[in-house]
Structure formats: C-alpha cells, structure tokens
Amino acid sequence: MELKISKTKNLYFALSAALIVAGLIAMVISWITLGAPLRLGLDFTGGTLVQLRFSPKAPAIEAVRPVVEKQLGITNIQQIGDQNIAIRTRSLSTDERTKLQEQLRASLGKFEIERIETVGPTIGQELLTNGLLALGLSLVGILAYLAFRFQFDYAICASIALFHDVLVLLGIFSILGLLFGVEVDTLFVVALLTVVGFSVQDTVVVYDRIRENLKFQSRKKTFPDIVDDSVNQTLVRSINTTVTAQLVLLPLAIFGGETIRLFALALIVGFLSGTYSSIFNASALLIWWRERKTTAPVTAKAQK
Amino acid sequence: MRQRTWLLLLVAVVIVGSILIIATKPTILGLDLQGGSQLTLQAKPSEKVKQVTPEVMKGVAAVVEQRVNGLGVSEALVQLKGSDQVLVQLPGVKDPAQAERLLGDTAQLEFRKEVPGGKFEKTDLGGTDLTNAFPQALQGGQGWEVGIEFTGPGGDKFARITRELAGTGRRLGIFLDNKPISTPTVGVEFVDRGITGGKAVITGRFSAQEASELGIKLKAGALPVPVEVIENRTVSATLGADSVRQSLYTGIAGTILVLLFMIAFYRLPGLVADVALVIYGLTTFAIFKLVPVTLTLPGIAGFILSVGMAVDANVLIFERTKEELRSGKQLFTSVEAGFQRAFSSILDAHVTSLITCAVLFFLGTGLVKGFALTLAIGLLVNLFTAITVSRTFLLTMLNFSNLRKPALFGVTGVPAKAVR
C-alpha cells in the first residue's frame, strides 16, 4: 500500500473539517441549551452525588424519587447496576445530606453508602480554571520544544494537527453529552492532556523521518515526494502503536468502572484522531505550507 | 561484548531487586481504592480575624489535626492546600458525616453569666482555658456528660465566676459557637469560694456520640477562623475493592493482548520486546512502591496506558530494523541501525509526553497528580527497558546462529546474508 498524501490532501482536510464542524455545531447547541460547550460534570459545576448500595437489590427509582424530591425538588436519580442508586443534586451541606440519608433510610430500609462526592461551587470553578491553565501551559511547552528541535513551520503545523485532535475530542464529547448525557470531569481534562502529548509524539515521529529524508534525498526528490515517502515509511509504526494503545484501552473502556470507562473512551477517540491527524493532516499541512511559501519548484534545503 | 555482559548483569540485578521490593514493600492505595473520605476545608475570615494569613492557617491545621487524632483514624493526613484550604484524608472512615461535623465546627467555647433580665454576658473564661475534655457516663446511667479540666488561671476564673453566681438563681451559660449547650445554676453552698479544684462537667443530655464529639472538639480547642467543608469525596471499602479488582483484570487483559500482538507481528524481536515489557512492568511497579506512589484509580489507568505506550519505542525500532533488512543490509547492522536511527524519534516522543506530565503534576490536584506521576515514571523506565534492555537481549540472541534469520524478524524475500 502506498499513500499519496500530497495528491489527495484536500480530501483529508475535508474529512477533518466535516468532523470538526459537526463538533462545533454540537458545542454551540450545547452552549445555548446547557450554558457550556460540553456537559459539565459535578467536578466543575459543584454539587453532591450520593451513591447508595442496597442488598440484595435496589428499590425502583419511582420509590426513591418522592422521598428525595420532597426535600430537594426535582432531582437526577439513576440506577447503577442491580444494587446501586445514585442521587445527584446541588451542593448539599452535611446537615442536609444527613437529613436526606435519614429520610431515605426511614422509607427504603437499610443501605450502605458507596460514594459521596460533594464539590462546592468555588472549588468547581478552581478545578476548571486549573484544567484550562494546564492545557494552555502544556501546549506552550510542547510548541517551544518543537520549535527548538525542528523548525518553526514544523512547530506550527504540528500544533494545528494538535488543535485538530483537541477539537475532535471536544466535539465528540459535546455530541455525546447532547445525545447520551455524558458529562466531563477532571479526568476528561487529564485525557485531553494525554491526547495532546500523544498527538505530538505521533506527529514528531513522522516529522523526524521527513527531516532525516531531506538530509539524504533532497537532491533527487521534491518536497511532496519526500513527505509521501516519510509517511509511508512510518505508516506501519503509526498503525501498530495505535493498535497496542487501543488493545490496553479497550478492556478499560468495556470492563472498567464508571469513572474510568469514559476516561478510556476519551483516550480512544483522542488517540485515533491523533494517529489520523499525524498521518493525513500534519504532513499534508507541511506540504501546503511550503508550497504556499515558494511559488517556484520546491527546493528543500538540507537542514539540521 | 564485554559491555554487553555487564548490561545483562545489570538487567538481572534490576529484575531481582524489583521482585524483592515488590514482595516486601506494601502497596499504598489511595482513598478511592481502599475506601475513606477526603475533605477539603475552606477557612473564612471572621469579624475577629479579618485576614486569613499563613499563621492563621497553621493554627487551623493544628486544631484540625488534633480533632482528627481524636477520631482515632489511623494514617490520617492533614495538609495545607493553597493559601486558605486544608486537605484532610481519612482512610477507612465509616461515617463521613461525623468527620464533617467534627471538623467543620469552629468550637468556640465560652462561659457566660446571666445578668438580671435573662441575658447572658461574656466573661474572660473560654475554650483556651481548658487542658482536657472527655466524655463520661452520667451516674444514673442515662446519657452522657463531658468532663472538663481547667488550667491554673482558668480554674481561678471559674471559681470567681461561680462565686458571683452562687445562690443568685442566675445561670452560668456554657456556649459553643454562640449556642447555649448547658445553662446550670450554681448552688448556694459555693457562695464563699466558688467552685474550686479546676474541674467541672458539662451536662446537656448528650448521647454517647455527641459527648465524645464535644470532648474531642473542646480538647483540640477552637479554630482561629470558621471553616466550611467545600469538598467531600468518600468511597466505601467495597467500591474501592471492586475498582482494584476491575483494574487488575483489565490491566492483565490489555497486557496479554499487547504481548500476543507483538509476537504475532514482530516474531523474535517481538518476543524480546515482550520480555522487556515484563521487566518494564516489574521495575515500574517496584519504583511505585519505593517512592512510594499512592496508587489511585487514575494512577493505575496511567500505568496501564503506559504499557501501551511502552511498546511504541520497540515498534519504532523494529520497523526501522525491518526496513534496513529489506534494503539488503546484514542482520547485525540492521538491528544496530534500527536502534540508532529510531532513537531521536523516541527521545522527542518521550520529552513531549514528559512536558505534559510535568504540567499535570504541578497544576493538578490529588487524582490528576497520581496519573501524571505514574505516567512519568513509566516513561522514564521505558527509556531504559525499551532501548537498553531490548537491545542487549536482541544482540545477545544474534550470537546463536540458528536465530540469525531475517524470517524471524518478520522479513521475507530477502537473501539471508545474516553473517557477521
């Protein structure tokens, strides 16, 4: 199989653009209906989650609802597995929560408390700010490193590919949030950052090869050809690395606990996008950039 | 050759050392895996203390620590976080509500005296005058009270106040955070000298739990400023154990899949990479125990993820080796070239990921930090195992003539020139 990125690059750009635009639309809809581009979880909005475990079997949600809503108004109640009931509300004080537990115990019988999560509104804001700050800082750090190791235009193209992956991941989770109520939490920010690292890593491997090939073959071949060669030479590696990463992520996504499952899903989406963008976008961007800059036949200078 | 023998020896030492560490050192599990509560307390300026300074926070942490000790939770952790927060970790705590009540109250104890007209007037006696407080059963057996002991000057103040009140019918008000918890009268028999001896009891129809909580709070003293519980993450031991089991299974499943894939795709080098991967797992886990890293759910996910990424270096190297073989180079040269040429990519890839880890570690909180730390350790160990270890093994194997076949490297159709 020989890929000719240089010939078909507009097709790949279009594919990426379509995916990103769909995501952006979802984010806009989400912004209008939910007030944020993604459905923010308790970590960011603040709130309380109480998960109760009944044995042998959880009561029906209809039995739980009146007890909870008498105290708290309309509340999100979910059944998790056979035994667990999760109640999500605004941030409750200790006394409010204790009262809720007492009333539930009085009307539903015995249960164990599996999980309590209370996040005050201020701390939610803090987590969100920190997450965005982390994202920004690591982007700057990576860009600086790339500019130092490669040339400036490589760094620019790699970061465009990077933003592509970030946008794809955000977009898909925005869509998932609209369709299935999937919420993002602190772990999602971690996933986002991991994807950033991985995406650059993937792009760097291809760029490394382009740089190496330029050194040895720049007299014989044009820049687009060298890029095509480099992509093909690293293609099997790109695919295999994605496969091994997916092999460990898939079991996590399928069998992992509730929190880890979405984390793994975010990584799966991000890694797939990362591989796609480094094969099809990052290198194509580099060709496009250099073609734009030089109207004359591309003469690739040997570079260090 | 000589160097390789030393490297093999080093690898052997690393393996044995790792196994020893894994066997002897305990694994430290985070609260989300062993069960327990993590609370964040936010200090707030009060009328008396207008600004929350680092000194004030030290005072808050000290009092919180005292109260946590009173709870009797082993291996509890109290630490300052940011400029005005305290993080409290309570492993294995059964009743988080109790901990919240205990830690969240200011516990400002005041003794007030009733003035004609029924109002209570402040005195100079308060919580700082206590040396001890403890719950004790009421003598009739019905309910509990809290015994308190005063410092020397505190005892004198108490005697003076009780002398003033004795026989007047006006009450002594014992207030906690501006709420009366007990309002006894002082008998006429104390009119001469007041209640002396530096001891007293607070009776207020307490349950055993209330008396014990009050005892802990009074003994630890009042918080210099009010605090609020702004975060509570509690996980039961059952849920924690479930998570451990799940991550163990998924981790093993994922690793086996990766091991099989590598052998299927890369044959002999794949096998070598698998061995390197197992060594990687052992070493990384040993370092986790040595540091020690507190393993959390995201931390384990970071570790599992690093397994997937650890093979990336080997994939890069072996692809390169294959290429060199296809271009007709000799086996030994190809293997060496594979390692050499892939190195710059591997380094770049690792540095970019380490940058992300560093940012996550310094900016993130608890869970996020765990993830960054495990991933970073994994990446660093990987530089050693995926390059040095697998290179040494592979070159050692090439000493055996019947292993020197390109087919074993997944390359066919190349004339076998695999002679050194």
DSSP per-residue letters across A20-83:
HHHHHHHHHHHHHHHSSSS-B-HHHH-EEEEEEE-SS-PPPHHHHHHHHHHHHSS-EEEEETTT
Report in angstroms the alpha-carbon separations of B348 from A147, A198, B140, B277: 12, 11, 77, 20
% of chain B exceeding 70 in pLDDT: 97
Asked if B231 lies within 8 A of A250 by C-beta distance, the reply is: no
Closest alpha carbon to A206 in A117, A156, A277, A144: A277
Indicate if the alpha-carbon torsion angle A136, A137, A139, A140 is positive or negative. positive
Calculate mean pLDDT across residues A12-32. 94
pLDDT bracket for residue B277 (50, 70, 90): very high
Contacts of B87 (CB under 8 A, 6+ apart): B38, B39, B40, B41, B77, B78, B79, B80, B81, B366
pLDDT bracket for residue B216 (50, 70, 90): confident
Distance CA A276, CA A11 (A): 13
User: Average per-residue pLDDT in chain B?
Assistant: 85
The two beta strands, A47-53 and B179-182, are: unpaired
Check residues B118 and A65 and name the one with the higher pLDDT.
A65
pLDDT bracket for residue A300 (50, 70, 90): very low
Contacts of A126 (CB under 8 A, 6+ apart): none
Would you put residue B160 in left (φ > 0), alpha (ψ -120 to 50) or beta?
Answer: alpha
Distance CA A277, CA A163 (A): 10
| Residues of chain B neighbouring A197 (CB-CB closer than 8 A) | 352-353, 355-357
Calculate mean pLDDT across residues B124-139. 85
In this prediction, residue A218 carries a pLDDT of: 67
In this prediction, residue B412 carries a pLDDT of: 67
Asked if B308 lies within 8 A of A244 by C-beta distance, the reply is: yes
pLDDT bracket for residue B1 (50, 70, 90): low
pLDDT digits (tens, 9 = 90+) for A78-132: 888 888 899 999 988 888 888 898 889 888 888 888 889 899 888 778 777 887 8
State the alpha helices, DSSP H only, in B202-236: 208-220
Closest alpha carbon to A118 in A154, A143, A81, A93: A93
Distance CA A278, CA A161 (A): 7
Distance CA A163, CA B172 (A): 69
Distance CA B167, CA B242 (A): 64
Asked if A245 lies within 8 A of B309 by C-beta distance, the reply is: yes
Could you give the residue range(s) of every CATH 3.30.1360.200 domain in chain B?
109-208
Distance CA B6, CA A296 (A): 56
Distance CA B221, CA B67 (A): 9
pLDDT digits (tens, 9 = 90+) for B350-377: 888 888 888 878 876 666 777 788 888 9
State the alpha helices, DSSP H only, in A94-222: 94-108, 121-149, 152-180, 186-217
Contacts of A25 (CB under 8 A, 6+ apart): none
Could you give the residue range(s) of every CATH 1.20.1640.10 domain in chain B?
1-30+236-409
Decide: A287 and A214 in contact? Cβ < 8 Å.
Answer: no
pLDDT bracket for residue B341 (50, 70, 90): confident
Would you put residue B180 in left (φ > 0), alpha (ψ -120 to 50) or beta?
Answer: beta
**Does residue A302 carry a pLDDT above 50?**
no
Closest alpha carbon to B46 in B178, B154, B173, B175: B178
| Residues of chain B neighbouring A186 (CB-CB closer than 8 A) | 365, 367-368
Distance CA A200, CA A205 (A): 9
Topology, domain B109-208: Gyrase A; domain 2 (3.30.1360)
Whether the complex's predicted ipTM is more than 0.85 is answered with no
Best of A159, A248, A250 to substitute, by most chain B Cβ atoms within 10 angstroms, is A248
Report in angstroms the alpha-carbon separations of B403 from B259, B265, B333, B388, B420: 20, 17, 15, 20, 13
Could you give the residue range(s) of every CATH 3.30.70.3400 domain in chain B?
36-104+227-234
The two beta strands, B199-206 and B179-182, are: unpaired
In this prediction, residue A122 carries a pLDDT of: 80
Give the closest-approach CA distance of A296 to chain B in angstroms: 31
* Rg over CA atoms, chain A: 24
Between A257-271, B147-161, B348-362, the lowest mean confidence (pLDDT) is in: B348-362
Distance CA B142, CA B206 (A): 10
Contacts of A222 (CB under 8 A, 6+ apart): A297, A298, A300
Question: What are the backbone dihedrals phi and psi of residue B234, each rounded to the nearest 5 degrees, phi first?
Answer: -120, 135
Query: pTM score, two decimals?
Result: 0.82
Decide: A282 and A203 in contact? Cβ < 8 Å.
Answer: yes
Indicate if the alpha-carbon torsion angle A283, A288, A292, A294 is positive or negative. positive
Rounded to the nearest 10 degrees, the angle between the axes of helix A283-293 and helix A152-180 is 130
User: Average per-residue pLDDT in chain A?
Assistant: 86
**Does residue A177 carry a pLDDT above 90?**
yes
Q: In this complex, which of A112, A127, A200 lies closest to B236 when CB atoms are compared? A: A112
In this prediction, residue B415 carries a pLDDT of: 52
| Residues of chain B neighbouring A118 (CB-CB closer than 8 A) | 229, 231-233
In this prediction, residue A294 carries a pLDDT of: 63
State the alpha helices, DSSP H only, in B30-139: 31-34, 54-71, 96-104
For residue B200, the surrounding DSSP H or E stretch is strand B199-206
Closest alpha carbon to B352 in A60, A148, A106, A290: A148
B36-104+227-234 classified as CATH 3.40.50.1980:
no
Distance CA B353, CA B115 (A): 71
Give the closest-approach CA distance of A202 to chain B in angstroms: 7
Give the closest-approach CA distance of A176 to chain B in angstroms: 22
pLDDT digits (tens, 9 = 90+) for B33-77: 888 999 999 988 888 788 888 888 888 888 888 888 888 777 888
pLDDT bracket for residue A2 (50, 70, 90): confident
CA count, 13 A, side-chain hemisphere, A169: 33
Indicate if the alpha-carbon torsion angle A100, A104, A106, A107 is positive or negative. positive
Does any CB of chain A come closer than 8 Å to the CB of residue B104? yes
In this prediction, residue A87 carries a pLDDT of: 92
Asked if B348 lies within 8 A of A204 by C-beta distance, the reply is: yes
List the domains of chain A with CATH numbers.
5-37+124-293 (1.20.1640.10), 47-119 (3.30.70.3400)
Distance CA B51, CA B44 (A): 8
% of chain B exceeding 90 in pLDDT: 12
Give the closest-approach CA distance of A141 to chain B in angstroms: 7
pLDDT bracket for residue A299 (50, 70, 90): very low
In this prediction, residue B187 carries a pLDDT of: 85
In this prediction, residue B413 carries a pLDDT of: 59
**Does residue A182 carry a pLDDT above 60?**
yes
pLDDT digits (tens, 9 = 90+) for B159-204: 999 888 888 888 899 888 888 888 888 888 888 888 888 888 888 7
In this prediction, residue B139 carries a pLDDT of: 77
CA B235 to chain centre: 13
Between A288-297, B100-109, B336-345, the lowest mean confidence (pLDDT) is in: A288-297
**What CATH superfamily classification does B1-30+236-409 receive?**
Multidrug efflux transporter AcrB transmembrane domain (1.20.1640.10)
**Does residue A304 carry a pLDDT above 60?**
no
pLDDT bracket for residue B279 (50, 70, 90): very high
Calculate mean pLDDT across residues B295-315. 83
In this prediction, residue B282 carries a pLDDT of: 93
Calculate mean pLDDT across residues A210-237. 86
